[in-house]
Amino acid sequence: MAKQQQRQMRIEQRGGMAAMQALEQRSDEDLLRETRNRSAARAILGSRAAERYDGAAARKYFQEAIAAARPQERPQIRRMAEAALALADRRSGDLRAAAQRLGQEAPSGRQLFLLRLSGLLVPPPGAGGLARARGVLLILLIIVLLVAVGTGIVALISLPFGGLALDASILLGLLLAVGAIVALVLFGRRRQARAAASRQEQAAAQRQPTNRAARRRG
């Protein structure tokens, strides 16, 4: 009897993970309307909110996912929530540990460094005033440094042509710095999109053997 109950629990858990895989391609609006697999839909919405660094929305969705989940599904959803909230709050150390507990590949050192840097520049909503003031000062410092570097580059390039006035060099340096910032933002968004797609592929690959085993047993 106990073995039958354990087998039933494993099958139900696999069913929940398979439902999550089927729902991953749906839009946020479709997931909000989902009622049959409400827990899986809310978990996906929580993960997407975390990727946007919206910790409040991610917590809300994962709370709803845990409340709607079967008891045997809740540990896995809690592990998903730990990893997602660590990402949303930009807690790099917790993110590495949570990803390993979830069975996913841990982020690289470079990715964790960029996450820590973004947390310093743009603190999460729950951060205090000191952290926000520090972020503003760091952003201003980076802008000043970029303008100074851009001005220096423009001045060096213009030297063979007789040089430029200081105000013209500063203006062109400012334009160069703005272009560099825009390029970095676009590059960062593309890397974030690729990282999110990679995580989804890893999760799908981990669930495929389980789904095939469930179909053979069925």
pLDDT at 6 exceeding the cut of 60: no
Q: Which residues of 53-65 are buried (b: 16+ CB within 10 A; e: fewer)?
A: bbbebbbebbebb
The residues near 188 (Cβ < 8 Å, ≥ 6 apart) are 114
Task: Tell me the residue type at 42.
Answer: R
pLDDT at 118 exceeding the cut of 70: yes
Q: Is the separation of the CB atoms in 75 and 82 below 8 Å?
A: no
The per-residue pLDDT for 205 is: 60
Q: Is the separation of the CB atoms in 116 and 90 below 8 Å?
A: yes
- What would the pLDDT profile of 121-175 be if each residue is shown by its tens digit? 777 666 677 877 888 888 888 888 888 888 888 888 888 877 778 788 888 888 8
| Better-predicted residue by pLDDT, 1 or 153 | 153
pLDDT at 61 exceeding the cut of 90: yes
- Over residues 73-97, the mean pLDDT reads 87
The residues near 53 (Cβ < 8 Å, ≥ 6 apart) are 87, 88, 90, 118, 122, 124
pLDDT band for position 214 (50/70/90)?
A: very low
| Better-predicted residue by pLDDT, 65 or 103 | 65
The percentage of the chain sitting over the pLDDT mark of 90, rounded to a whole number, equals: 9
| Better-predicted residue by pLDDT, 171 or 194 | 171
pTM of full prediction above 0.85:
no
Q: 200-204: which pairs have CB atoms within 8 A and are 24 or more residues apart?
A: 200/24, 202/104, 202/105, 203/21, 203/104, 204/21, 204/24
Place of tokens 């179909």: 215
The residues near 147 (Cβ < 8 Å, ≥ 6 apart) are 170, 173, 174, 177
**With the C-alpha atoms ordered 54, 118, 106, 108, is the resulting torsion angle positive or negative?**
positive
SS3 64: helix
The per-residue pLDDT for 7 is: 46
As a whole number of angstroms, the longest Cα–Cα distance in the chain is: 90
The per-residue pLDDT for 73 is: 87
pLDDT band for position 213 (50/70/90)?
A: very low
pLDDT at 180 exceeding the cut of 90: no
pLDDT at 60 exceeding the cut of 90: yes
Integer Cα distance of 129 and 54 in angstroms: 19
The per-residue pLDDT for 103 is: 76
